[in-house]
């Protein structure tokens, strides 16, 4: 009995980029593109519905970055392998994604030669890092630990949303959001929103797509 194709979900907010991924991967025998998504929320919903072996995920997504989407997917389906693609070579971005549960991290400017191999390797349980990033990540300090919900709140703070706005978007009370905001600032040792926004973007905790 032939082995089932390796199922892949493509996540990127640019249709042309997804089309390029699709062409690269569909040319390979044994790989089946089962779906596409254009933002973080859609990625989570589609991954849970389709249960692909691998999600090829852009980091900088509208509404929910790739790291938060990865956490959400793996909370519901821990067997799925996520391969993160990013323009960012900073160690803090890589660490954020790996701590979220991604099995691989490739730089977008190098993926043309590596994407197919990386998809197969993460599906087989390997961790795949762009070779230029290994030493950077090994020497990077550990990032402060925030929960998935705190990262979602932080993303919305960076996008300029008030506590009331965030409460409506996440279906929570304003008091709960205020507690999350306070806990985030305490964990990061930051005392005002402006500093929080700068830190979150610089360290890759959120994307500004």
Domains and CATH numbers, the chain: 6-139 (3.40.50.2300), 148-202 (1.10.10.10)
In tens digits, what is the pLDDT along the chain, a chain of 209 residues? 557 789 999 999 999 989 989 998 988 889 999 999 999 999 999 999 999 999 999 988 877 889 889 999 999 999 999 999 988 887 778 888 888 899 999 988 765 658 899 999 999 999 998 877 766 665 656 666 788 888 889 989 988 899 999 999 889 999 999 999 999 999 888 989 999 998 888 877 777 65
Residue 135: the pLDDT is 65
Specify whether the CB–CB gap between 188 and 195 falls below 8 A.
Answer: no
Spatial CB neighbours of 48, under 8 Å, sequence gap ≥ 6 = 73, 76, 77
What separation in angstroms does the CA of 129 have from each of 38, 86, 102, 156, 169?
24, 12, 10, 29, 34
The pLDDT value given to residue 110: 62
Q: What is the pLDDT of residue 203?
A: 77
Closest residue by Cα to residue 100 from 68, 133, 55, 143: 68
Predicted local distance difference test score (pLDDT) of residue 55: 98
pLDDT at 179: 94
* pTM beyond cutoff 0.75: yes
CA dihedral 204, 205, 208, 209 (to 10 degrees): 90
Beta bridge partners of 128: 104
């Amino acid at each position: 009995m032939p082995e089932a194709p390796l199922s892949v979900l493509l996540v990127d907010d640019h249709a042309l980029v997804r089309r390029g991924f699709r062409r690269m991967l569909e040319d390979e025998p044994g790989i089946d593109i089962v779906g596409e998504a254009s933002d973080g929320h859609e990625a989570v919903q589609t991954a849970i519905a389709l249960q692909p072996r691998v999600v090829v995920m852009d980091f900088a997504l509208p509404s929910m970055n790739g790291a938060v989407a990865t956490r959400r997917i793996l909370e519901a389906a821990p067997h799925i392998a996520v391969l993160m693609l990013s323009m960012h070579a900073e160690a803090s971005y890589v660490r954020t994604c790996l701590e979220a549960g991604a099995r691989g991290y490739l730089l977008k400017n190098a993926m043309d030669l590596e994407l197919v191999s990386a998809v197969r390797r993460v599906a087989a349980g390997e961790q795949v890092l762009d070779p230029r990033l290994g030493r950077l990540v090994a020497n990077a300090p550990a990032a402060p630990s925030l929960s998935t919900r705190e990262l979602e709140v932080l993303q919305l703070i960076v996008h300029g949303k008030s506590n009331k706005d965030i409460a409506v978007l996440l279906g929570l009370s304003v008091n709960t959001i205020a507690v999350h905001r306070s806990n985030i600032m305490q964990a990061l040792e930051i005392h005002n929103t402006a500093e929080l926004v700068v830190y979150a973007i610089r360290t890759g905790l959120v994307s500004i797509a």
